[in-house]
């Protein structure tokens, strides 16, 4: 075990996997000698050479198009999009190409070995274009997997699993935790399962569900509720697609109440999918409407960032409303 | 760290210099004249009798297939078709200059390249009829072929997406030292997509052994080339990216063969991309959903029909004494019958199992798709008459 922050855990996972599998190739804007604007790819070029870790021209559609070709050829590309806000130029390559490669060719060709890493999320004064959480756009795309870790331990295990998974994975990294989140991380090889939620705390009165950086927020709200005598089942969804509905449903059958928190705007956010599914699977167990505590339906603002964010206080208030219903 | 100077190649001037068209003059390689005779100071490539005959046969076979399948679409037997009439030389002769290990990534009008590689009449039919023998499992529209064994990447409809993919594929070939290149076909319309820019720039910077082969046939559906770009075609752009570039007469099979052979040699030896712009003309309608009389004249088409790439090449082959009209006619009549028979066979083959609706979305079928297919099967079972193609497979 070694104390690592989220970036160090990601860097550790990349080094481990590049050493283990010589077909792993890492590229993107500024990821080469410089090691990435967040330093997630530090020393990779030094260890593995320019052929396996390199800068690309500044073109997101190019990065993912190139990655699709490389993956279909049999390499294991780990492509970086500098900020999730800038993934949209590559939307066509991801949605029409990456995700449909296997299906449209009847399984003859696939981009299954591709992993797309991208920092996402707000809370760093990033304004409109350094704060977005675009997971719901991609959750509407059959063929993709979407994974979001909440801490360094999760990040290493989930990233290794993502690179090895035989499906294209969009791996979204909560950038406000890059240096803020520190924990013990095994130095050896380990993976965590994709498509499985993680029960962080067991409780009996209400289920609180989130992912990524918002886990800290709902854990804080759960603590406040706990001080009032409310027992919360706290779940980290970890995988947005495919997502672990059975784990959430089991919890809701026990607690009868569900609150979902995410940073992305409310309308069309992934909480809508979860709420509709759980309402269907747990109709007779629900004792209150499913609560969604989300970002506002606005672009991500700068000066009003604090007001915009679905923080612990908004979550705490929603827990009380749900319990009082 | 290296010191770099991006001004090192910049030529300094002290008066305003406006750069205009015409500074770069890109010639078009031609080896055969319009009548199919070897041009006086041109050299025919070294190409043996067998390969020559295969090129000619493939071009004629594809024209035949195109005619028959356009008719089959008109009869409502297949839902869609897209002919390559007029462009047979560009795609056949370029494919002939490759090795079978080279990856082909195509747009959709390159069926001749696939036929040259060995795709059979039955395979063409199974894909077009979306039956259970279709390697795509009936999921894609007709003409979206693909064959892993023949190193022909499955076609997709979004234009230009295969261009940066070809760069990535070629990079992988280089990394693994496969001694193979990737060829990437696209039309001049697709070259206006952002992916063209991304793909060429990345290939040049990252040194990928890829041949970008542009079929400049004058039209993107109804849009003529002069509404597509204002520069000197597509070739002039290659120069801007630092990509070695060749412009060739796309209706001259020998010129296309020579250009592609040279491009392959450069790409492999120097690990770099090469752009070929083949100047040709889309004699066919864009597709069976298009009627070109709405946007171009019969006279224009007639002019290009005189420069038919097949006749031109055939004359040269005849002059060499490598072509026997009688044997050829027998071969064509055999193909014609084989195509008609294959249509009849393929249209009788069932569609894939209903489970193939959810297979291959992922490597395995996840829980939510399992739920959806189970529900769908129960529904089909309840209303079998409404789903005649699949009902008998759902018990």
Which of chain B's residues have a Cβ under 8 Å away from the Cβ of A59? 194, 197-198, 201-202
Of A61, A69, A246, the CB nearest to B166: A69
* pLDDT tens digits, one per residue of A93-151: 999 999 999 999 999 999 999 999 999 999 999 999 999 999 999 999 999 999 999 99
Q: Mark B257-288 as b/e (b = at least 16 C-beta within 10 Å).
A: bbbbbbbbebbbeebbbbbbbbbbbbbbbbbb
pLDDT score recorded for residue B8: 83
Mean pLDDT of A3-14: 98
Cβ of B222: how many Cβ atoms within 10 Å? 13
- Compute, in degrees rounded to 10, the torsion defined by CA atoms A152, A154, A157, A160: -80
Quick check: helix, strand or coil at residue B171? Answer: helix
Q: Are B201 and B241 in contact (CB under 8 A)?
A: yes
User: Residue B215: which H helix or E strand, with range?
Assistant: strand B210-216
Lowest mean pLDDT: which of A208-217, A262-271, B201-210, B321-330?
Answer: B321-330
One-character DSSP codes across B252-282: -HHHHHHHHHHHHHHHHHHT--EEEEEE---
Q: Which helix (H) or strand (E) holds A55?
A: strand A53-55
**The predicted structure's pLDDT at residue B326:** 92
Rounded to an integer, what distance in angstroms lies between the CA atom of residue A197 and that of residue A201? 12
Sequence length of chain B is 395
Question: A299 in helix, strand or coil?
Answer: coil
Q: Measure the CA–CA gap between B198 and A61, rounded to whole angstroms.
A: 7
Q: How large is the ipTM?
A: 0.97
pLDDT for res A181? 97
Q: What kind and span of H or E run contains A233?
A: strand A232-236
Q: How far apart are CA B219 and CA B196, in angstroms?
A: 17
Q: Distance between CA A189 and CA A186 in Å, rounded?
A: 8
Closest in B173, B195, B363 to A167, CB measured: B363
Residues 6+ apart with CB under 8 A from B330: none
CA distance B94 to B67: 22
A56, A72, A108 ranked by CB distance to B202: nearest: A56
Angstroms from A100 CA to nearest CA on chain B: 7
Closest CA to B170 of A29, A117, A167, A65: A65
Structure tokens at B48: 């043996």
Question: Is residue B282 among the annotated active site residues?
Answer: yes
Whether the per-residue pLDDT at A214 is higher than 70: the answer is yes
Compute the half-sphere exposure of residue B200: CA atoms within 13 Å on the CB side of its CA. Answer: 28
DSSP states of B33-46 as a string?
A: -TTSPBPTT-----
pLDDT of A52 over the 70 cut? yes
Average pLDDT of the residues of chain A: 98
**Read out DSSP for B63-107?**
HHHHHHHHHHHHTTSSS-----TT-HHHHHHHHHTS-TTSEEE--
Tokens linked to A138: 């991609």
A66 and B103 within 8 Å at the Cβ level: the answer is no
Residue A303 predicted with pLDDT over 80:
yes
Q: What is the pLDDT of residue B23?
A: 66
- Asked if B168's CB is within 8 angstroms of A69's CB, the reply is yes
Using alpha carbons, select from B282, B280, B273 the residue that is nearest to residue B245. B273
The proportion of chain A whose per-residue pLDDT surpasses 90, expressed as a percent, equals 100
Q: What mean pLDDT comes out for the span A156-163?
A: 98
Q: What is the pLDDT of residue B24?
A: 78
Q: In what order do the strands lie in the sheet containing A76-80?
A: A53-55, A24-28, A76-80, A115-120, A169-174, A145-147, A239-241
- pLDDT (0 to 100) of residue B21: 61
Which residues 47-86 on chain A approach chain B with CB closer than 8 angstroms? 51-52, 54, 56-57, 59, 61-62, 64-75, 77
A105 CB neighbours in chain B (<8 A) are: 135-136, 146, 148, 154
Q: Which residues contact A103 (CB under 8 A, 6 or more apart)?
A: A142, A143, B139, B360, B361
State the alpha helices, DSSP H only, in chain B: 49-74, 88-96, 111-117, 121-128, 162-175, 194-205, 235-240, 253-270, 298-305, 309-319, 325-346, 367-382
Question: Which parts of chain B register pLDDT below 50?
Answer: none
3-class DSSP state of B310: helix
pLDDT at position B18 is 83
Q: Which contiguous run of DSSP H or E holds residue A251?
A: helix A245-255
Q: CA angle A260-A264-A269, nearest 5°?
A: 65
E strand or H helix at A317, and its extent?
helix A312-324
Residues paired with A144 in a beta bridge: none
Is the CB of B363 less than 8 angstroms away from the CB of A166?
Answer: yes
The first and second tokens of residue A322, run together, are: 């749900």
Q: DSSP secondary structure string, A117-139?
A: EEEE--SSS-GGGSS---HHHHH
Residues of B in contact with A250 (CB under 8 A): none
Contact A166, A172 (CB under 8 A): no
Which residues from A are below 8 Å from B134, CB to CB? 106
Start-to-end C-alpha separation, chain B = 69
What pLDDT does A226 receive?
98
In this prediction, residue B328 carries a pLDDT of 87
- The residue behind tokens 């399992």 is B370
Best of A24, A69, A93, A111 to mutate (most B CBs within 10 Å, chain B): A69
């Amino acid at each position: 075990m070694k104390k690592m922050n989220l970036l160090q855990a990601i860097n550790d996972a990349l080094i481990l996997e590049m050493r283990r599998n010589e077909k792993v190739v890492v590229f993107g804007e500024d990821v080469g000698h410089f090691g990435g604007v967040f330093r997630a790819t530090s020393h990779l070029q030094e260890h593995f050479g320019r052929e396996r870790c390199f800068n690309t021209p500044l073109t997101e559609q190019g990065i993912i198009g190139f990655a699709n070709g490389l993956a279909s050829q049999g390499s294991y590309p780990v492509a970086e999009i500098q900020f999730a806000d800038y993934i949209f130029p590559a939307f066509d390559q991801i949605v029409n190409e990456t995700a449909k490669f296997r299906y449209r060719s009847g399984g003859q060709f696939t981009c299954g070995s591709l992993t797309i890493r991208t920092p996402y999320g707000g809370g760093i004064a990033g304004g409109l274009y350094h704060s977005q959480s675009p997971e719901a756009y991609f959750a509407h795309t059959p063929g993709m997997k979407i994974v979001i870790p909440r801490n360094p331990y999760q990040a290493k295990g989930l990233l290794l699993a993502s690179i090895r998974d035989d499906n294209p994975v969009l791996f979204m990294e909560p950038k406000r935790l890059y240096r803020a989140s520190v924990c013990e991380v095994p130095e050896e090889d380990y993976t965590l399962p994709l498509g499985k939620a993680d029960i962080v705390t067991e409780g009996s009165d209400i289920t609180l569900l989130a992912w990524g950086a918002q886990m800290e927020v709902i854990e804080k709200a759960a603590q406040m509720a706990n001080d009032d005598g409310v027992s919360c089942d706290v779940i980290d969804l970890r995988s947005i697609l495919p997502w672990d509905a059975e784990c959430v449903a089991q919890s809701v059958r026990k607690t009868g109440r569900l609150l979902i928190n995410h940073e992305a705007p409310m309308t069309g956010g992934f909480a809508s999918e979860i709420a509709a599914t759980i309402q269907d699977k747990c109709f007779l167990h629900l004792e209150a409407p499913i609560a969604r505590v989300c970002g506002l339906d606005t672009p991500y603002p700068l000066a009003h960032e604090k007001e915009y964010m679905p923080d612990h206080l908004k979550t705490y208030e929603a827990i009380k409303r749900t319990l009082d219903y | 760290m290296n010191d770099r100077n991006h001004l090192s190649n910049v030529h300094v001037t002290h008066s305003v210099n406006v750069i205009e068209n015409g500074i770069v003059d890109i010639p078009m390689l031609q080896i055969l004249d319009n009548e199919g005779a070897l041009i006086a100071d041109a050299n025919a490539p070294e190409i043996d009798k067998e390969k020559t005959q295969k090129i000619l046969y493939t071009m004629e076979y594809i024209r035949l297939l195109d005619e028959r399948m356009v008719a089959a679409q008109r009869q409502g037997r297949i839902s869609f078709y897209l002919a390559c009439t007029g462009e047979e030389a560009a795609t056949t002769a370029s494919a002939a200059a490759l090795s079978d290990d080279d990856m082909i990534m195509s747009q959709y009008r390159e069926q001749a390249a696939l036929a040259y590689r060995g795709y059979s009449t039955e395979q063409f039919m199974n894909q077009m009829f979306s039956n259970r023998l279709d390697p795509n499992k009936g999921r894609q529209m007709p003409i979206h072929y693909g064959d892993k064994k023949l190193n022909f990447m499955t076609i997709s409809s979004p234009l230009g997406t295969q261009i940066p993919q070809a760069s990535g594929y070629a990079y992988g070939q280089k990394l693994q030292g496969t001694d193979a290149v990737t060829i990437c076909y696209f039309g001049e319309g697709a070259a206006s997509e952002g992916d063209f820019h991304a793909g060429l720039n990345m290939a040049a910077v990252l040194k990928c052994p890829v041949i970008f082969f542009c079929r400049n046939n004058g039209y993107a559906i109804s849009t003529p080339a002069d509404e597509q770009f204002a520069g000197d075609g597509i070739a002039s752009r290659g120069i801007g990216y630092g990509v070695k570039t060749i412009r060739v007469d796309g209706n001259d099979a020998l010129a296309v063969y020579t250009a592609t052979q040279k491009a392959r040699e450069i790409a492999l030896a120097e690990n770099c991309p090469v752009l070929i712009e083949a100047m040709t003309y889309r004699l066919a309608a864009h597709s069976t959903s298009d009627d070109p009389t709405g946007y171009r004249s019969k006279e224009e088409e007639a002019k290009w029909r005189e420069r038919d790439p097949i006749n031109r090449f055939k004359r040269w082959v005849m002059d060499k004494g490598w072509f026997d009209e009688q044997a050829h006619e027998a071969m064509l009549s055999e193909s014609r019958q084989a195509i008609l028979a294959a249509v009849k066979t393929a249209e009788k083959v069932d569609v894939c199992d209903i489970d193939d609706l959810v297979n291959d979305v992922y490597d395995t079928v996840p829980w939510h798709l399992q739920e959806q297919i189970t529900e769908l099967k129960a529904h089909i079972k309840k209303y079998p008459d409404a789903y005649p193609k699949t009902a008998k497979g759902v018990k």
